[in-house]
Amino acid sequence: MFGWTGTTLRVDLTKGTITREATDLELAHDYLGARGMGGKIMIDEVAPDTDALSPANKLIFSPGPLTGTFAPSAGRFEVVTKAPLNNVIAGSNSGGAFGPELKYAGYDALIIEGKAAKPVYLWIKNDEVEIRDASAVWGHTTPDTTDLVRAETDEDAKVACIGPAGEHLSPIANIMNEMHRAAGRSGVGAVMGSKNLKAIAVFGTGAVTVADPDRFKAAVMKARKLIQAHPVGGTGLKAYGTDVLVNILNQTGALPTRNYQDGYFPTADKTGGESLAAKQLVRPKGCFSCIISCGRVTKVDNPAYAGYGEGPEYESAWAFGADCGIDDLDAITKANFLCNEHGIDTISLGSTIACAMELFELGVITAKDTDGVQLTFGNVPAMVEMTRKACTGEGFGAKLAQGSYRLAESYGHPELSMTCKKQETPAYDPRGVQGIGLNYATNNRGGDHVRGYTIAIEVLQNGAVMDPRVTEGKADLDITFQNLTGALDSAGACLFSTFGIGAGELAEMLSAVTGVEYSVDEFMKIGERIWNQERLWNLKQGYTTDDDALPKRLLTEPIKTGPAKGEVNHLDKMLPEYYQLRGWDEKGVPTKAKLKELSLA
Amino acid sequence: MAKVLMIHPDKCTGCRNCELACSFEHESRFRPGASRVQAYTWEREGMSVPMMCQQCDDAACVKVCPTGAMHRSTTLANLVDWDERVCIRCKMCTVACPFGNARYDAASSSIFKCDTCQGAPECVTFCPNGALEFVDDEQQVRSRKKAYAAKFKEAFQEVS
Ligand code: SF4
Ligand code: SF4
């Protein structure tokens, strides 16, 4: 057995039992690992009507077959669970070194079920696995938790944990690993919190084996060269991080501003990666096996917002920046630090604060609701203070920590929540970039960019050029990216490796590692299978074609200023074609023939 | 001409490609625990430092080795080599190295110490950030020295 370790670890927190089982390799061939395999395990084991925060939900940590090898920038893992935010299959992807360590400890996946009677953490040292008391760690921030758990286990253990937000069951809480990397979206941290599981520490001394070492090395050398020669993968991301996108999207006229009231922010440059590199950046950092190094070690000296940590990524800088009408990068970086320390999703929280700002300016909420804070767009100290409150769950912060859909709905204005399937849409305005709108609407986890990153072509012209303003060809483009990402995530690769390589290189590395021959077609088919599997789950959750939608504002209120002035999104022109190309009926239900073709029926 | 392995912690991103390359070269699989180079990361500070054998001229590991297994290579300049056939696994070298750069591995019954892949270190090939360099002794510090010289140059250019 190569690539996979062959063993899956199961921990039942209710019973306190720890069991090992053989990884189903036939399934692994069809679903690879990480998102695909995790999703398959969840569908097989969790009843669709399970309450996401009940002991019956399961929390699965799963690396991919490439994880732990030197395939470039492919050391990732996925946290899979039923999402408390919106009931979808939450697959939150993270880097760092936690996923590889799980493999070296001997596991293809870790399945956590039940609920501990009191706070615990899990300590995995190869085949010694223990459930330990975490009462002394509960309540601590993620960096402090990491240090405390390491002091009790091993100083080199890799630690994934929740912060106070996960403990408070915020549906936008995340899971942090190695202090700064986040499995960020859909509230996976709340599921961990609901299980009374504060942290997982792993130390592994085993190996990941390779079927054909010579072939693998040759494939890796080729992939590395392609990424290193790419202007984004090889140079841009290391120099400026993902936040380099601020200026690019602003110049496209698709930088959502003030809760999507506009698509252009005149002073956006102050919040971009170039500004970050000039001021807050200490040095670039890389995840395990990464050759791109987009990570930002950053510090803020300004005493009002002083701190040290990592980030922000582009989407975080946008959420606390342009979306809140803010151009103070010290403050944005501080908000990002607070989120990481307390374990809450930056995109969702920033967008929720923006939504609250609009509610405030409209007079729907007043200073009475916001603990006396004048929560207007552009109010920098207010933004940071609200972030802090959401992190700790104090006062109005407890409402913000529910995400923008629940917030806006509670005040009778769900239309001001910029969400798809209740999850906040990230930093690309669908009115200025048509295809990403289709992706938000059809995305299996709701408002999400990474699983159908049409921006790569529509804006960044990576390998092909397409006009962002047109709808033609976007259904096909979106489907290609959605399928590619399904397979890429499940292999353990980082999305950014596509700034240099594609399905061909990934399939070749996968074949060499596992000894199972994957053609490009088969690789893409795996992605399509995973996408359809997730779709079927969503249909069981009661989602219908009516939910393949965008916030009304994006369809009816044109962008007011900037290069995309006057534009709205034309989802209706793309969605029928999308269904048709997917082999789904006009209601968005996969046909029998399609499911058969994908071995899903 | 002797080549030396130089580390540049200022360029290291903590990606551990060096560890992966090292274990792959020695075992054809990925076991960072078997790597002769380790990149340690201090997560709070976001700082990483790669560590490996310095191939000391006056090597403690060679001095304490009772069998001559740990010896100065006769074929490659600036290499302290380990002869697994002669070694009795008494582990004295692992005790003696002041940097912790030699360790005993029970799984493979070996002493893990950098052998520069016999003059072609894979960690250097795989480091994506130039944090590891295999250079002639005469040029060992050239890049570092020049980088500082350039800073002086800028300063002087401004005042003159
Ligand atoms: S193992 Fe230690 S003592 Fe021996 S040559 Fe290397 S650094 Fe020097
Ligand atoms: S490969 Fe280079 S950058 Fe990466 S950890 Fe090793 S020395 Fe540091």
In this predicted model, what pLDDT tens digit does every residue of A161-171 receive, in sequence order?
999 999 999 99
Asked if A70 reaches chain B (Cβ–Cβ under 8 Å), the answer is yes
pLDDT for res A531? 98
pLDDT for res A146? 98
Which CATH code of 3.40.50.620, 3.10.180.10, 3.30.70.20, 3.40.50.300 fits the domain covering B54-113?
3.30.70.20
Which residues in chain B have their CB less than 8 angstroms from residue A295's CB?
A: 13
Which residues in chain A have their CB less than 8 angstroms from residue B13's CB?
A: 283-286, 290, 293, 295
Per-residue pLDDT at A510 exceeds 80 = yes
Asked if A68 reaches chain B (Cβ–Cβ under 8 Å), the answer is yes
pLDDT band for position B139 (50/70/90)? confident
Q: What is the mean pLDDT of chain A?
A: 97
Q: Per the CB < 8 Å rule, is A289 touching B44?
A: no
pLDDT band for position B160 (50/70/90)? low
Q: DSSP letter string over A10-32?
A: EEETTTTEEEEEE--HHHHHHH-
- SS3 string, A278-317, reads HCCEEEEECCCCCCCCCEEEEEECCHHHCEEEECCCHHHH
pTM of the model: 0.96
Per-residue pLDDT at B147 exceeds 90 = no
**Burial bucket for residue B88 (CB in 10 Å: 0-12, 13-18, 19+):** exposed
CATH 3.30.70.20 maps onto chain B at 1-52+117-160, 54-113
Per-residue pLDDT at A440 exceeds 90 = yes
Per-residue pLDDT at A75 exceeds 70 = yes
B51-73 mean pLDDT = 97
Per-residue pLDDT at B157 exceeds 90 = no
Of A178, A286, A308, the CB nearest to B13: A286
Nearest-angstrom CA–CA distance, A555 and A552: 5
pLDDT for res B156? 86
CA dihedral angle for residue A264, residue A419, residue A416, residue A53, rounded to 10 degrees: -140
CB within 8 Å of B131: residues ≥ 6 apart:
B7, B8, B9, B10, B11, B12, B13, B18, B50
User: Which DSSP helix (H) or strand (E) runs through B71?
Assistant: strand B70-72
Q: What is the DSSP letter of A217?
A: H
Per-residue pLDDT at B137 exceeds 90 = no
Domains of chain A with bracketed CATH: 7-203 (3.60.9.10), 242-424 (1.10.569.10), 434-549+570-597 (1.10.599.10)
Of A70, A143, A228, the CB nearest to B17: A70
Each residue's pLDDT tens digit, B72-115: 999 998 999 999 999 999 999 999 999 999 999 999 999 999 99
Position of tokens 């399609």? A594
The fold adopted by the segment(s) B1-52+117-160 is: Alpha-Beta Plaits (3.30.70)
A417-440 mean pLDDT = 98
**What is the DSSP pairing of strand A109-113 with strand A307-310?**
unpaired
Each residue's pLDDT tens digit, A280-330: 999 999 999 999 999 999 999 999 999 999 999 999 999 999 999 999 999
pLDDT for res B1? 65
Question: What amino acid occupies position A318?
Answer: W
Asked if B15 reaches chain A (Cβ–Cβ under 8 Å), the answer is yes
Q: Per the CB < 8 Å rule, is A291 touching B128?
A: yes
pLDDT band for position B145 (50/70/90)? confident
Task: List the one residue out of A501, A527, A523 whose CA is nearest residue A511.
Answer: A523
Task: List the one residue out of B95, B119, B115 whose CA is nearest residue B55.
Answer: B115
Q: Give the dihedral sign, CA A50/A51/A53/A55.
A: negative
Question: What amino acid occupies position A244?
Answer: V
ipTM confidence score: 0.96
pLDDT band for position B140 (50/70/90)? confident
CB within 8 Å of B72: residues ≥ 6 apart:
B59, B62, B79, B80, B81
Nearest-angstrom CA–CA distance, B48 and B44: 11
How many angstroms is it from A205 CA to the middle of ligand 1? 23
Nearest-angstrom CA–CA distance, A94 and A111: 17
Each residue's pLDDT tens digit, A171-206: 999 999 999 999 999 999 999 999 999 999 999 999
Question: What amino acid occupies position A212?
Answer: D
CB within 8 Å of A97: residues ≥ 6 apart:
A75, A158, A177, A178, A287, A288, B16
